Amino acid sequence: MQMISEIELLENNKIYIAGSIASAPVFNHQIYGESFYNIIVEVQRLSKQTDMVPVLISSHLLDIDLLKPDTLIEINGQVRSYNNIDKNEKKRLVVNVFAREARILQTLEGIESFNSVFFDSFICKEPNFRITPFGREICDLLIAVNRAYKKSDYIPCICWGRNARYCENMKVGTRLRIWGRFQSREYEKKYHYENIVTKTAYEVSVIKLEKVEDNK
């Protein structure tokens, strides 16, 4: 069996974002003397809407004092996920961006795309195709992207139109290469006693995808 190198595993999950920092850094954890912080980066779409992208960044990449709100930043990294257990002991999939490279910018001029994602992945849950009340065809995918130490990241994706129809009947285990953008989406969740809470979902909006045969 062919061994997959760590470099290849880095190449199968890539994200680039450029935007403005929307929140002050919040300490997350420290390991071997390296501190990690959570920030939110506001990234503009072509439609002028914005996505609020959660990022985990190391103090070894940039001086934390530079990570001030409204500062322009570009980040290369990977989309990561983990299960968070809430107070009711229910598992919730948490998705964010793990920064591998980061740079403070003076301007966003000249950047062709503020938000781009690439995955070499596998479908790990049966696709969910549906038509919205507005007549849009969409298909929800949950994909697995392998990384080092036999770990995987599970990432929700959404396909539109002909891409939705294309993957509607794909089987679990199908290998897909996916290009898209990381997006945030607010929704309302109703709890007991008519309590409604606004939450934010994070997913990848698929722009292009291709099915990969086993010998490729």
β-pairing, 26-31 vs 34-44, is antiparallel
**Residues 67, 150 share a domain:** no
pLDDT of residue 1: 34
Residue 216 inside a domain? The answer is: no
**Separation CA 114–CA 112 (nearest Å):** 7
**Residues 66, 128 share a domain:** no
pLDDT of residue 196: 81
The answer to whether the Cα torsion of 51, 124, 147, 207 is positive or negative is negative
**Residues 111, 125 share a domain:** no
**Residues 107, 127 share a domain:** no
**Residues 181, 101 share a domain:** no
Which residue segment(s) compose the domain that 12 sits in? 6-116
pLDDT of residue 2: 42
**Residues 98, 172 share a domain:** no
Identify the CATH number of the domain in which residue 97 sits.
2.40.50.140
Q: What single DSSP character describes residue 4?
A: P
**Domain count of the fold of the chain:** 2
* pLDDT per 10-residue tile (average), the chain, 216 residues: 53 96 96 96 94 97 96 98 78 94 97 96 97 94 92 96 96 97 87 77 96 76
Residue 117: name the closest of 43, 30, 196 by CA.
Answer: 43
**Residues 180, 99 share a domain:** no
Residue 36 inside a domain? The answer is: yes
**Separation CA 54–CA 46 (nearest Å):** 20
**Separation CA 104–CA 54 (nearest Å):** 17
**Residues 55, 98 share a domain:** yes
